[in-house]
Amino acid sequence: APVVDRRSGNYKPPLWDFDYVQSLNSGYKEEKYSRRASELKAQVELLIEELTLSRPAVELLELIDNLQRLGISCHYEHRIKKILNRVYEMDNKTMNREPNEKDLYSTALKFRLLRQHGFAVSEEVFDCFKNDEGEFEAILTEDSKGLLELYESSFMLIEGEDSLVRAREFATISLQKNIDQGLVLDDELSLLVRRALELPLHWSIPRTQARWFIGTYEKRPHMNPAILELAKLDFNIVQAIHQEELKSVSRWWKSTGFAEELPFVRDRAVGYYLWSIGLIEPREYGYQRIIIAMLISMVTTIDDIFDIYGTLEELHLFTNVIQRWDIELIDRLPVYMQICFLALHNFINEVAYNFLKEQGSNIIPHLRKSFTDLIATYMQEAKWYHNGDKPSLEEYLNNGKISVAGCLVSHYMYFLLTNPIKHEAVQAMYEYHNIIQLPSMIARLADDIGSGPAEMKRGDVPKAIQCYMNETGPSEKQAQKHLKFLIHETWKKINTEVLAADSPFSPTFIRCCVNVGRMTQYMYQHGDGIGVHQSVLKDGIKGLLFEPIA
């Protein structure tokens, strides 16, 4: 047979192997910890009750913000809604009166929390902080605490809110300057500002923030001991739940034998499961997280077949068999593709089987369609690569927002999280409804910024950076800046979509879709966290999955 040049991803072995994962055994699985957590939950409930009756609104808002940052607000959703409702009603009554204290911090904190919870608050609440020319008053540049809240709030913007675009620019520049000139004297505030400038709250996955914030909260002079103990305990109890799910995924990944049969793919069971933690947050959805981690394992393996190993000839064969979905055709594939196709077939049948038992209908056609659509975009990229074509940025991104697999993951999350499913929602999904495709566009943009350099080195289709440079000139810096601009623009559309009233999807599912963008930005904020540079996420993963908080 002719010698075929196969590329390599130069992927190192996994940082945590099968035996290490199977050895995980958190003490926090024990009943006594859940009992203690229940006691603390009740104590904190009383504390919130007392504060609600006696303290000013800004302290209540701070408490809500702290509970959210500590990762324990899920226990108090009902109470939080009631408090925000009251704050919203009060605001409406006093709205026409000049706000007695023009306090940027409390105004922005209120705006952010109300909008985050779906209340209709206007960007005009910030007008009282502007001068006659409509610019934010210069004096504000000294108020880093207020600026940080203004900065975080500005990421909640929807289309048309130019005042919030200005607010983000003004706050970003002022905060960066204050940090550079050492003007932010409070240690905690300085840390909060640095993290926010890297990744704002609205773009972050709460769980990845909680571990860090618990450590920060502990150092606060007036922190509440019951809240702190609950936050630590709850984090560790959820970590123990996640470890059991990870062990299932790791056993399944080993059973596929992909790492042996397809040695060129990313052997990253921990990384694949990590996605699920960011995508599906409610702790009770363990089965769903395991399936999504298996799904991402399949997607990544097929992605490496298309990007690295398969010849164009073989990729055409594979695409044809996937489109026909006929198991009889398997013999025309090279063995490594037979392994992958049969594993995919088994996986889809397992998901469809569980769905059939639960909802009594057959979704195999949908589960297949997600993959035939995905693989058509993989095939397009392979053709561009092998023919040396240079697609325009727009052409590349229209294909790439699907090929990054965010839409496919959302498709599967819908079937896993929705009971009963609705025909109109399924139809909207496969027409690539905004809530399905916009977070996937974020994923593509973040993925190309993060994994693009290594992909270009080993050989891959021209990524967004290269497509932009082919069109507008040689500066990689300029290209990165443009992609970051596109990320901001796409988030504005996502925020608008989330607030749209007539969605065929549930709020829980919508949040999981938006997390597709958040999780990719987390994975790639320091380069390719799942591929060649595992170490950039190493400490983050250890803190999330392996090391309980002391």
Q: Which residues bind ligand BP2 (CB under 6 A)?
A: 296, 299-300, 303, 307, 403-405, 443, 447, 451, 455, 520, 530
Q: How far is the CB of 80 from Mg ion (least distance, A)?
A: 36
Q: What is the DSSP string of 315-334?
A: HHHHHHHHHHT-GGGGGGS-
Return the residue of 245, 303, 314, 497 that touches Mg ion, per CB under 5 A: 303
Q: Which among 292, 336, 290, 255 is positioned nearest to 4, based on CA atoms?
A: 336
With respect to ligand BP2, which residue has the nearer C-beta, 37 or 405? 405
Region from 212-220, 369-377, 451-459, 482-490 binding Mg ion, contact rule CB under 5 A:
451-459
Say which entry of ligand BP2, Mg ion, none residue 404 contacts (CB below 5 to 8 A, set by partner kind).
Answer: ligand BP2
Site membership for Mg ion, residue 107 (CB under 5 A): no
Q: What is the total count of residues that contact Mg ion (CB under 5 A)?
A: 5
By CB under 5 A, residue 447 contacts Mg ion: yes
Task: For residues 277 and 272, give the distance between their C-alpha atoms in angstroms, rounded to a whole number.
Answer: 10
Cα–Cα distance for residue pair 117/545, rounded to 1 Å: 29
Q: What is the CA radius of gyration of the chain?
A: 24
Give the burial class of 507: count Cβ atoms within 10 A of its Cβ; 0-12 exposed, 13-18 middle, 19 or more buried.
exposed
Other CB atoms within a 10 A radius of the CB of residue 267 amount to 22
297 binds Mg ion (CB under 5 A): no
User: What does 40 interact with, of ligand BP2, Mg ion, none (CB < 5 to 8 A by kind)?
Assistant: none
Contact 400, 442 (CB under 8 A): no
**Rounded to whole angstroms, how far apart are CA atoms 174 and 171?**
5
Smallest distance from the beta carbon of 359 to ligand BP2, in angstroms?
27
Which residues in the 493-532 window bind Mg ion by CB under 5 A? 531
> Nearer to Mg ion by C-beta: 232 or 533?
533
Query: Which residue lies nearer to ligand BP2 by CB, 367 or 397?
Result: 397
Among positive and negative, which fits the CA dihedral 470, 471, 476, 480?
A: negative
Of 113 and 523, CB closest to Mg ion: 523
**Can you tell me which of 451, 490, 515, 525 binds Mg ion, judged by CB under 5 A?**
451
**155, 233, 51, 87: which is closest to 521 by C-alpha?**
155
Q: Which is nearer to Mg ion, 123 or 303 (CB)?
A: 303
Among 123, 267, 307, 314, binds Mg ion (CB under 5 A): 307
Q: Least distance (Å) from Mg ion to the CB of residue 199?
A: 18
Per residue, the 3-state secondary structure of 242-287, as one string, reads HHHHHHHHHHHHHHHCHHHHCCCCCCCHHHHHHHHHHHCCCCCCHH
Does residue number 267 form part of the binding site for Mg ion (CB under 5 A)? no
Taking the complex as a whole, the smallest distance from the CB of residue 293 to ligand BP2 amounts, in Å, to: 11
Q: How far is the CB of 465 from ligand BP2 (least distance, A)?
A: 11
SS (H, E, C) 432-469: CCHHHHHHHHHHHHHHHHHHHHHHHHHCCCCCHHHHHH
We find the least distance from the C-beta atom of residue 264 to ligand BP2, in angstroms, to be 12
* Part of the chain binding Mg ion (CB under 5 A), chosen from 103-111, 120-128, 449-457, 486-494: 449-457
Name the DSSP class of 12: P
Q: Per CB under 5 A, does 149 bind Mg ion?
A: no
149 binds, among Mg ion, ligand BP2, none (CB under 5 to 8 A by kind): none
Residue 339 CB, shortest distance to ligand BP2, in Å, is 18
The dihedral over CA atoms of 155, 433, 516, 190, expressed in degrees to the nearest 10, equals 0
Residue 301 as a binder of Mg ion (CB under 5 A): the answer is no
Residue 296, binding choice from Mg ion, ligand BP2, none, Cβ under 5 to 8 Å by partner class: ligand BP2
The tokens describing 6, both together, are: 């196969």
Which residues partner with 527 through β-bridges?
Answer: 525
Rounded-to-integer distance, Cα 247 and Cα 290, Å: 9
**Which of Mg ion, ligand BP2, none lies near 449, with the C-beta cut-off 5 to 8 A by kind?**
none
The structure tokens listed for 323 are 């489109």
From the CB of 19, what's the least distance to ligand BP2, in Å? 24
Task: Confirm if 214 and 549 have CB atoms less than 8 A apart.
Answer: yes
Give me the least distance between CB of 544 and Mg ion, in Å please: 20
**Nearest CB to ligand BP2, comparing residues 226 and 376:** 376
Residue 148 tokens read as: 């940080």
**Interacting residues toward Mg ion by CB under 5 A:** 303, 307, 447, 451, 531
